[in-house]
Chain A
Amino acid sequence: MAIGRKIGVFICHCGGNISDYVDVKAVAEAVANEPGVVVSKNHMFTCSDAAQQEMIDDIQGLELDGLVIASCSPKLHMFTFRDMAERGGINKYQYVHVNLREQCSWAHTNDKTGATEKGIALVRAGIAKASLSVPLTALRVDTIPKVLVIGAGISGLRGALALSDMGLSVFIAEKEKDAGGTVKNWGRMAPDDQHGSEIVKNLLDEVKRRDNIMLYTDAEMIAKSGYIGDFKVTLRVGEHDSVELQVGAMLIATGFDSYEPQQGEFGYGLDGVVTLPQFRDFADQQDGELTYNGKPVKNVAFVYCVGSRQKKTEACPEPNQYCSRYCCNAGTHMAVCLEDRPGDLNQYHLYRDIRTYGHNETIYEEARTRGAVFMRYQDTEAPTVADTADGLVVTVKDQLMGGEEVEIQADLVVLITGMVPKKNETLMNLLKLPVSKDGFLNELHIKLRPVETVIDGVFLAGSAQSPKTMAESVGASLAAVSKAGGLLMKGFVDLEPLIARVDTDKCLWCDECLKACPYGAIEKIHHGEKEVAFVVKSLCKGEGACVPICPHDALDVEGYTDQQITAMIDACSKEVVPA
C-alpha cells in the first residue's frame, strides 16, 4: 500500500507533556521502518517556528508526499500543521494528525510502558492513513456580497444595520405585516427603562434611510437552493407577489413565541388571568393608575416560571425543561414600573427561584424595597387560582414563611410566561436546520461556534436559538453579522474537500444514498451506459451517513475511506514488541 510513498513522521515531546509519560524516542524508532516512512524524528515542540522550519526543510529535502505529526489534540494544531504542510509544498490533506497528548500521555500518566506501546500503535495507524492519502483541492466558491436577514425584530434590524455598515447589501424578510417583532408595542423594558416601541422606531427609521437595505414585510421564504456564498432564495411578498434573491449568507432572526398556557393552567382562561405579554398590551398603553376593564386594579398577583422549568407529568407530557432567562428580569422590572404609578396598588410575586443575574439584581432589590411582596413556592406545590364569589383568589404555600398557606384576593393574575420556539414550519423545512431537544435552533458548537449552524453560511441571530434577553439577542445578532461579514468580504470561500465520493464502477444507482442524505447532495446522473450517484460537492457535509447505507460499497468519505480505516485498524492492532 505504501509503495513509492515518502512519509515523514514527527513526534512531539510537548515540553514534557508527552515525553514525561511516553518514551517518544522509542516511538520514533519503532515506526522508522514502517512501509513508506523515510524519516522519523522527535521535536521538543513541533508547533514552534524552529521545528516547523526544520519539518519544511525535510518535506522539501526528502520530497515527502505524506506527513504524520504526533502531538497534542488536532483541535489545537491541526490547522497549524496543515498550513505548514502547504508552506512546505505538500498537499495539506496528505498530512495526518495523531493525538498523542490528550488521548495518550495525559490519559496514561501512570503507565509509561503501556502509553509508549499505545503511542506506537496510534502513530502506525496515522502512517497507514497517510500512505493512502491523496492530494485534495478545496472547492473555491465566489461569494455574493449580499445577506438575507429573516425576521425584522430587534435582532434582525440591528443586524441588518451592522451589515449595511460593512457595505454589504441586505434584504430583510418579515413574516408579519409590520416590522418590529415582539417588543414593537412595548413600553419600559429592563434593564434601562427604554421603551421597546422607541428602540424599534429608531432602528426602523435608520433602516429606511439606508440605500443598501431592502425591507419586505408580509414576506416569507418559499424556496431555497444553492450553498454558502451563493444562495438563491424566493420570497413570497404579500398575497400575490414574489421576489428572487441571490445572497451569500443568511441570518436567522426569527425570534421566539411566548408560551401560551393551557386552559386552566394557573387559572388561565378565567377573566383577569393574563400572561405578561397580554398584560403589557393594555398596561403599557395606560398612564396613571392601572385599570383593567375600566376598573381600578388594587391587587395583582404575578406567577413566575409559567411554561418554563417544567417537569414531565401526565398533564405535561412534553415539558419545557429550560429556564427562559428573561422572565425574572421582566417580572421584577414590571414590579418597579407598577411602584412608579400613582395609587395604592399591592403586588405579590410568587416565584420558584429568582434569577436576576448580573446588573438586574439591583432591579429585584428595588422592587423588594419599594413594596412588592415576594413569596416563594415549591414546584411540587404550585399556587392555585380559583374564581370565587369574591373574585380571583390565589392560594400559595409560602416557603419563606415555613410553608404557611396564604390566600391572595387579586384583581389580576399575571402569568410570567417563558419563551418557546417560534413556529415556522415552512422555513424550517426549507433550511433543514437541526433543532435542539427543546425545539430551538441548534448552533454548531455551544461554546466555540455559537452562532454558526450546520448549514454553512446560515447564522443564528438571537432568540431563535435559545431564550435570550434583548441585549443577548443583539449580541448574538452582531456575532452572526461578523461571521457573515468575514465570510463575504473576503470574496470567496474554500470548502473542505473531505466529502463523499462515488466509485462509479461499483455504483448501481439504487437511491439509498439519496434517501440517506439530508442535504440534497446526491443526484442521479448518466455515466456511460448506466445511471450512478453524483455528489454535489458544495452541498455535501462529509458526515458519511451515505457510506454504510450503500449496499454496493460504492461510497467513501475522503480522508476516511474504507481502505484507510481498514488499514488503520490493521496498523493499530499489530502487536507492539517493546524494544
Chain B
Amino acid sequence: MKSNEPQPKILVFSTNSISDPGIDLAGSAHMHYSTEVQVIPLPCSSGVKPSWIIHAIKQGFDGVFVAGCGGDCSFLADCTPRTSALIKQAQDLMKENDISPKRLKMSGLCSVCADNFVAHMNAFQKDLIKLEEK
C-alpha cells in the first residue's frame, strides 16, 4: 500500500552505538515511518563532514538528518557542541550553494529514542513538503 504521493527523501546519519540502536528499536517495535528514510551509520556524529550533507542534497535527497550521539556519546563529553558546530558550518555551506539550510536537521537521539526518531522523521517530512510548496 505504498502511497502514490511522492514523499521527501531523507538521509539520516546515525551513530553506531547511540542513535543507530534507537532507530533499530523503532523497527523492532514495528513503528512505521516513511520508506524514503535511509540511514548511513557512522562511529560518532562529531565525524560528519559538511561536504557529505551537500553531496546528499545534490544527489537528490530532500533533507539530511544528523541523529547525534547527544549527551550519551561514549567518545566525547562535548559531542553535542562539536556536532552543532559542524551543522552550523554545513548550513553556511548550504546557503553558499543555494540550498535552504532548513533541509538539514540535527538532534541528539539516544539508544532507546524510538518514538523520538519516528516523530522527527514525520515532522521533518512535513517541513520538507512545506519547503517544496513555497
Give the interface of A toward B (CB within 8 A).
73-75, 99, 101-115, 117-118, 121-122, 125, 434-437, 442, 444-446, 454, 498, 518, 541-545, 547-548, 557, 560, 562, 565-566, 568-570, 572-573
Chain A residues, CB < 8 A from B104? none
Give the nearest-CB partner of A122 in chain B: B38
Q: How far is the CB of A116 from chain B (nearest CB, A)?
A: 9
Question: Quick one: which of B11, B17, B55 contacts A445, CB cutoff 8 A?
Answer: B17
Contact partners of A548 in chain B: CB under 8 A: 46-50, 86, 89
Q: Closest B residue to A444 by CB, please name it.
A: B74
Identify the interface centre among A73, A113, A125, A436: most chain B CB within 10 Å of its CB: A73
Determine if A569 and B23 form an interchain contact, defined as CB atoms under 8 angstroms apart.
no
Mask for B20-31, Cβ within 8 A of A = 1, else 0? 010111111011
From DSSP, what is the main secondary structure of chain A's interface residues? Answer: helix
Whether the Cβ atoms of A118 and B32 lie closer than 8 Å is no
Interface size on B, residues (CB 8 A): 51
A229 to B68, CA, bound (A): 31
Is B31 a contact of A107 with CB atoms below 8 Å? yes
Q: Known contacts being A118-B35, A569-B55, is A543 close to B75, with CB within 8 Å?
A: yes
CA distance A114 to B89 in the complex (A): 33
| Minimal beta-carbon separation of A451 from chain B (angstroms) | 13
Write out the residue numbers on chain B whose beta carbons fall within 8 Å of the beta carbon of A543: 43-44, 46-47, 75-76
Complex contact A547–B47 (CB within 8 A):
yes
Partner of B40, one of A102, A518, A547, A565: A565
Query: How many angstroms from the CA of A104 to the CA of B28 in the assembled complex?
Result: 10
Residues from chain A with a CB closer than 8 A to the CB of B39 are 99, 103
With A101-B27, A107-B33, A543-B75 as known contacts, state yes or no: A569 contacts B40, CB within 8 Å.
yes
Choose among A102, A113, A121 the residue that contacts B28 (Cβ–Cβ < 8 A).
Answer: A102
Is the CB–CB distance between A565 and B52 below 8 Å? yes
Contact B1 A111 (CB under 8 A): yes
> Are A73 and B2 interface neighbours, CB within 8 A?
no
Known contacts A75-B24, A107-B30, A122-B38; A569/B56 CB under 8 A:
yes
User: Beta-carbon contacts of B86-114 to A below 8 Å, as 1s and 0s?
Assistant: 10010000000000000000000001000
Do A442 and B32 have beta carbons less than 8 Å apart? no
Cα separation A547 to B27 with both chains bound (whole Å) = 31
Contact with A along B48-64 (1 / 0, CB 8 A): 11111001100111000
